[in-house]
Amino acid sequence: MKRDLDQAVSNAARMSDYLSVRHGHEKSENFRNFILSSEWLQFKQAYTRMRYRHIGSRYNSQIKDDSTIVDISLRIANNKYIPGKRKIVRTYDDGETLASIMAEDKKDLRRMDSLVRLECLKSGIKANSFYVLYDYETLKPESLAAWRRAKDADYHSQQFGYNLNFFLHTYQLVVPSINAVVIYRMRYYLVSSLMMLILTGLAFVFLFRMMRSQRLYTQARIAFTGNMTHELKTPVAVIEAALDAITRYELTRDPAKLENYLDISKTEVQRLNLIIDKVLNLDQLDNGEIRLRSELYDVQQGLESVVSSMRLRNDHKDATIKYFPAEEPCFVDGDPLHLTNVFYNLVDNALKYSGASAMIIIDCRVENDMVRVSIKDNGPGIPRMYRDRIFERFFRIQEEPDQHNVKGSGLGLHYVKQIITQHGGRVEVSSEPGNGSNFTVILPSYHEI
Ligand SMILES: Nc1ncnc2c1ncn2[C@@H]1O[C@H](COP(=O)(O)OP(=O)(O)OP(=O)(O)O)[C@@H](O)[C@H]1O
Ligand SMILES: [Mg+2]
């Protein structure tokens, strides 16, 4: 950055020198090349610097017909330089006065400053900057205020004379803060690196999430296989035992017992059928293959049938199921089979997870053209962090090791959500851990067209 600024100021100084003496040399390519060359600038700077070391100097240029003579002479004093004794001896040209020289010099200074700005712009530097002017002879700054301001600045250029006529002042460019300039110049790199960083970060997060969900999915699948095996094996084992008993004890001779065993087998076969249906349903549901029928469905009737079949189930003898039907009719437009399954699943969960002394309260009402069915239990509740996840396929909340395990496939609520969503409704869960859960199914009520 500093090198670029140096370059800009020295380019401007050369151009300013050239413009100050161009008059009469407009056509001379050689003259132009000479004054604009970096050698000349170096030479001039060296010459300017030398004057302070007890060396007197003289600079003069004349235009002849075919060339320009530049006269530079140095006088090295034999003795130490005595301050105050040195002074410029200037020969005025025709019509020149001190005042006119000062005015010309001011013009040249303005030109130098705008050249510097132009050069900065050319090299893409947009800096907040100012200049400090020094007396050519005494080296003292012209404005103390500017000089003080320049003291803590990040960048000071060399001092350059800006014309070859008067040698009154030198010019120094000052940039107070270079960081801002550097940042501004690097803005495209910065923005693109930032974008790269963000993109990399996003890709990482995406990959991480994918890996995590893949892992969870694998875990859930393994758990599902375990649970399913258990669920399938139990009815098969029961049927096997029943058939075994029938042949071993020749129960054909005892019709009452035989019927009992056959009944047990029948129920178990039904259970097997249900499980198989559930798995098949799930695949069809996820592939969008299930075509839901659209019929007038009486929610109250559906709930009643679910409740009465649940009450008959002998594995929940101590459970209480309270059902509060609505006073007004609760009709929705939907598939009777699947909607009944949905209520079955929810009541089944409530019974399963609330243990022996389960207390289930079911109610149904119509509110704002929506039928709301709520199924409330007094079970262990569902921690907040799982409230969305229980609707995922295969997801089951890990049981505490000391609690007795409730078996399940983790498909029930996934099915519930899919079916209800396809009916244009939604499922809400509210729960206080340790204090039961409340599942609410909200469906648009039936409208006659
Ligand atoms: N009423 C409830 N009380 C407490 N936890 C519940 C309740 N309902 C569901 N859960 C939790 O949500 C999980 C997911 O339920 P879901 O019905 O999808 O699967 P499941 O009951 O384990 O298996 P399935 O219903 O397929 O036999 C359950 O494992 C259980 O941890
Ligand atoms: Mg369930």
Out of 221, 396, 415, mutate this one to test ligand 1's pocket (max ligand atoms within 8 Å of CB): namely 396
Mean pLDDT to the nearest integer, 363-392: 92
Mention every residue, 6+ apart, whose C-beta is less than 8 A from residue 17: 35, 40, 41, 44, 161, 162, 163, 164
Mean pLDDT, the chain, rounded, equals 86
Q: Which of 390, 391, 438, 441 has the most ligand 1 atoms within 8 A of CB, as the residue to mutate?
A: 390
Centre of ligand 2 to C-alpha 260, Å, is 29
What residue's CA is closest to ligand 1, atom 1?
350
User: How many Å lie between the centroid of ligand 1 and the Cα of residue 414?
Assistant: 10
Give the C-alpha separation, 377 to 349, whole Å: 9
Residue nearest to atom 25 of ligand 1 (CA): 412
Q: 141-164: per-residue pLDDT in tens?
A: 999 999 999 998 999 999 999 988
CA of 446 to the centre of ligand 1 (A): 29
Mutate which of 274, 347, 413 to test ligand 1's pocket (most atoms within 8 Å of Cβ)?
413
Ligand nearest to the CA of 413: 1
Does ligand 1 have an atom closer than 6 angstroms to the CB of 427?
no
- pLDDT (0 to 100) of residue 101: 87
Confidence of residue 87 (pLDDT cuts 50, 70, 90): low
Nearest to 301, CA basis, from 268, 276, 334:
334
Any idea which of 205-209, 338-342, 413-417, 444-448 has the lowest mean pLDDT? 444-448
Instruction: Please tell me the number of the ligand nearest to residue 353's CA.
Output: 1
Average pLDDT over residues 45-72: 76
Ligand 1 binding pocket includes 380 (Cβ within 6 Å):
yes
pLDDT(360) > 90: yes
**Is residue 376 in contact with ligand 1, taking CB distance under 6 Å?**
no
17 ligand 1 Cβ < 6 A: no
The Å distance, Cα 242 to ligand 2 centre, comes to 28
**Would you say the CB of residue 436 lies under 6 angstroms from ligand 1?**
no
Instruction: Convert 131-150 into a string of H (helix), E (strand) and C (coil).
Output: EEEEECCCCCECCHHHHHHH
* pLDDT score of 402 more than 70: no
DSSP β-ladder status, 130-135 and 331-334 = unpaired
Q: Is the pLDDT of residue 299 over 80?
A: yes
Confidence of residue 11 (pLDDT cuts 50, 70, 90): very high
| Eight-class DSSP state of 328 | S
Distance 408 CA to ligand 1 centre (A): 7
Using a 6 Å cutoff on CB, does residue 437 contact ligand 1? yes
Q: Is residue 447 pLDDT above 80, yes or no?
A: no
- The pLDDT score that the predictor gives to residue 194 is 95
Determine the distance separating the centroid of ligand 1 and the alpha carbon of 231, expressed in angstroms.
15
Give Rg (Cα) of the chain.
48
Q: Give residue for tokens 């139990």.
A: 234
Cα 285 to ligand 1 centroid, rounded to whole Å: 19
How far lies 171's CA from each of 34, 112, 119, 132, 288, in Å? Answer: 21, 8, 15, 6, 80
Establish whether residue 377 lines the binding site of ligand 1, counting it when its CB lies within 6 angstroms of any ligand atom: yes
Residue 84: pLDDT band (50, 70, 90) is: low
Split at pLDDT 50, 70, 90, the class of 274 is: confident
Residue 171 · residue 142 · CB < 8 Å:
no
- Give 410-427 pLDDT, tens digit per residue: 888 998 999 999 999 999
DSSP-based helix, strand, coil % in the chain, nearest 5: 50, 20, 30
- pLDDT confidence bin for 296, thresholds 50/70/90: very high
Q: Which atom of ligand 1 is nearest to the CA of 391?
A: 18
The ligand placed nearest to the CA atom of residue 379 is 1
Closest C-alpha to ligand 1, atom 19: 410
**Mean pLDDT of the 368-374 span:** 94
Residue 347 Cβ < 6 Å to ligand 1: no
80 pLDDT above the threshold of 70: no
CB distance 412 to ligand 1 below 6 Å:
yes
pLDDT for 192 equals 96
The CB-based long-range contact list for 417-423 (8 Å cut-off, 24+ gap) reads: 417/391, 418/285, 418/286, 419/285, 419/292, 419/335, 419/338, 419/339, 419/341, 419/342, 420/342, 422/290, 422/292, 423/292, 423/332, 423/333, 423/334, 423/335, 423/339
Minimum-distance ligand 1 atom for the alpha carbon of 396: 29
Rounded distance, CA 216 to CA 53, Å?
Answer: 83
pLDDT-derived band at 108, boundaries 50, 70, 90: very high
Is the minimum distance from the CB of 350 to ligand 1 under 6 angstroms? yes
Looking at all shown ligands, the one closest to residue 275's CA atom is 1
Q: What is the pLDDT at residue 52?
A: 65
Ligand 1 pocket test: pick from 349, 375, 438 the residue with the most ligand atoms within 8 Å of its Cβ: 349
